Copies of this chain bind each other. A is one copy, B any other.
Amino acid sequence: MARTAGSHSDVTGPRVRAAALRLFAKSGYAAVSMRSIAAEVGVQVGALYNYTPDKQSLLFDLMRSHLEDLLERAGPGEGEAAERLAGFVSFHIRYHHDRQDAVFIAYMELRNLSEENFQVIEGLRRRYEDLLEEILAAGVAEGRFDIADTRIATRAVIAMLTGVSTWFRESGRLTLEDVETQYRKMVLNAVRV
């Protein structure tokens, strides 16, 4: 099972993706060159093109796999709407905290997607919003939530939650659990009758 010297298909691929993720998050897609990605991986530019047809595909694949993973892990939750909503808040904050780079890219680099790729990503994001909207609608049906327009409330909640990753630092004054607790309370109060 000897492998040709210098052949590292199975290990270099993930490393290319990881390097691109890190660099795109740090400096922005447009500001990152294929050369800088290669340098981060420790190969020459040409080698990158064994793993991606071009830079655009690299961005698109990172966004898509992030959103697909997000959708896979975000279950509908169980119990009454209030419990499910509290669960969603905690899930969103924790998941986004654990993958700051991917989250940042998925929200900031939309305009660098080609029109076709943008549509795919928007569809996935929309499906994630639908998960939350369904919870809010269930709460309204239960008579426990008072929401004029569930679509607006959905977006308001997601914007609020996603904002956490722009300022939260592990080294700060508060633990992530403190933050979760306060956000759960604010979100529940915002929609409850």
- The verdict on A152 contacting B166 (CB below 8 Å), with A26-B111, A112-B31, A192-B189 known, is no
A113-150 contacts to B, CB under 8 A, are 148-149
What is the CB-to-nearest-CB distance from A79 to chain B, in angstroms, rounded to a whole number? Answer: 22
Chain B positions within 8 Å of A39 at CB level: none
Residue among B152, B159, B186 making CB contact with A174, cutoff 8 Å: B152
* With contact pairs A30-B28, A148-B185, A189-B189 given, residues A163 and B156 touching in the complex (Cβ less than 8 Å): yes
State how many copies of this chain the complex holds. 2
Binary flags per residue of A20-33, CB closer than 8 Å to B gives 1, else 0? 00000011101100
Contact B182 A190 (CB under 8 A): no
Within 8 A of B (CB), among A149-170: 149, 152-153, 155-160, 162-164, 166-167
State the CA gap A166–B155 with chains docked (Å). Answer: 10
Q: Is A45 an interface residue (CB 8 A)?
A: no
CB distance from A87 to the nearest CB of B (A): 18
CA distance A182 to B147 in the complex (A): 8
User: CB-CB < 8 A to A108: which residues of B?
Assistant: 108
CB distance from A157 to the nearest CB of B (A): 8
- Interface residue tally of chain A, by bracket? 35 or more
Residues of B within 8 A of A183 (CB): 152, 156
A186 touches B179 (CB 8 A): no
A187 proximal to B (CB < 8 A):
yes
**Cβ contacts A175-193/B at 8 Å (1 or 0 each):** 0001101110111011110
**Does B149 lie within 8 Å of A160, measured CB to CB?**
no
Most buried by B among A158, A163, A167, A187: A163
A-B contact sample (17 more), CB < 8 A, given A149-B178, A149-B182: A27-B111, A28-B112, A31-B112, A148-B178, A148-B181, A152-B179, A153-B186, A155-B164, A156-B163, A156-B186, A158-B163, A159-B162, A159-B163, A159-B164, A186-B191, A187-B190, A189-B190
